[in-house]
Structure 1
Amino acid sequence: MEILADQTPLPDAIDERLRSQLTFVIEVDRLKTVLRQSPLAAAPRRENDAEHSWHLAMMVVLLAEHSDEPIDVGHTIRLVLVHDLVEIYAGDTPLYSASTDQQEREEAAADRLFGLLPPDQAVAMRALWDEFEARVTPEARFAKAMDRLQPLLLNWMARGGTWKSPGVTADVVRARKAVIGEASSALWEAGQVLIDEGERRGWSRSGS
């Protein structure tokens, strides 16, 4: 797959560093085409990765006060904006899928995508992606919590959504969403209320 900028090359008169940065900016436009499984609350279609990442950034701004640990909001926003960029090449892996090669695909995608940037920014962007994946810092744990909470809200609005996928039960949903509790006891408590009520209403299957 050729990079998008090669279809209409940027003029050589543009500074080399800036050209690399603009090439990356053009390439990440592909994120708008990567469809996720989650349904939108506002329209009868699935969301794309760019919409998802924007939604997470907004959630960080609004919900940071519920973090169990102090977090740097700006840094957490950077984490959620970067975390799904690799899906431009690796594709989206649904939460309830049985994929076994996700990490391998995403590592290769990270190498390729961030390699389009000037070396210093390539290292910085890759570090953000690695931090999100490792969940060692309070910011990364909260970013991951947002990544789990947002589709939970969308599935609630869809009266089930992907909770109705084959093999998915309310207990499976609880297990996959429990990571929210690693960052925010308050948000995980609210999430469990939604899951429990969804199960009671028949929007997800009971059982493990």
Structure 2
Amino acid sequence: MTLEIEITNKTFILHNTGALYWTDKKMLLLSDVHLGKVSHFRKHGSAIPNNAILQNFKKLDAVVKHFEPESICFLGDLFHSSLNKEWILFEQWVNNTGIPLILIAGNHDIISPHKYEELNIAIHSEWILDGFLLTHHPENREGFFNLSGHVHPAVRLQGLGRQFLRLPCFFRNKNQMILPAFGEFTGTYIIEPLEGDIIYITTKEEVIKL
């Protein structure tokens, strides 16, 4: 379910849901949850079961219960669209969780910052913390290790015969790590790792370093 790694002498734990836990800070980092996406697509005629709305919240509850973090940082694209009925569920989740929340705004985060401020959620365009640069879009900035999302990274692995598996992954190189999308209803983007890059694939049961 988890894999412990070191980044610049700091300990992090990768979770098979796509969550990243920073042990020193007791902080949970998540990217691309895309709350509201199910309601958005249902509104426009997509045949998605209504109970699918709750799956992201169940996933959030499970990973919070597992790590018991003291804070949660969302690395962008927390909410997929403009306000819809999932915002009410999000408000309830925030109030029930009772953990300080930080949002690094992403391209899908178009809801007014005031709505987040009403929930005591801190919003930043980026956040520098102990030599780490937290952003939504990947950045390569000298002197910092970048933690980001946005890409929804995945790799394509060959299985038996001509079968191929498409698996989400954490992508890491010398100066950055890109988290997989945490949301249940998100696509993936196949990346082609270069020499020296590190891939940690996520399955339903575990995290595996390739």
Give the TM-score normalised by the residue count of structure 1. Answer: 0.29
Structure with bigger strand share is 2
Give the TM-score normalised by the residue count of structure 2. Answer: 0.28
Structure with bigger helix share is 1
